[in-house]
Structure 1
Amino acid sequence: MDIEIRNFTPLSGDSVKSDVRRLARANIYFSELETTLHGVTLTWHRHKGLGVMPPNARAIDGKPGVRWKVDGVFQKSLAGQMIGMLEEETGRPFDPLMTH
């Protein structure tokens, strides 16, 4: 599936002592679906490592409007692409103990 990462924005302010740090936010465009997800967040979890969280939209029944497999290929691929963009933006390799 072809995806395009748009409006990539590094985030700062989360403590390096926090269990979960928000590193960046972006919009993800799925060309085959002609759909954009706004507010997808790249995170670092102290015990789980890198991850990408879908937007926090809720359906009428209260369940998540968007969900993907936490350790799935799509999520890992997207996290890898976004961390690459973060490293390019900051000019240095990602280090979970450093603030960006």
Structure 2
Amino acid sequence: MNLRGKQKRFLRSKAHHLQPIFQIGKGGINEQMLVQVNEALEKRELIKISLLQNTDELTDEAALTIANVTKATVVQTIGHVIVLFKPSSKEKYQHLSKEVRDI
């Protein structure tokens, strides 16, 4: 999903109060983590992922890798934090995606 500037700004404001629910450490990105990220995106639509200091991953590369595999959109990378958005396929979880569509 391609997001316009106003939509990204709206999602950034919603993500500001979220805590990162995944951390990428020295193990890097693995298949099991990507499955869990995809499941979390399905239920929450907007998540934060933080990169720990001991990781070898670069923030931008990690964001692109995760976004490509999960088919999510990178809303923002700031410091060692990645914000991802993916509209849920299940209607009962589509809270943010309905608001984003109306913007």
Give TM-score scaled by structure 1 length: 0.30
Larger-Rg structure: 1
Q: Compare the two structures and name the one with the higher strand fraction.
A: 1
Flag the structure with more relative contact order, 1 or 2, with Cα contacts below 8 A and sequence separation at least 6. 2
Hey, which of these two has a bigger chunk of helix by percent? 2
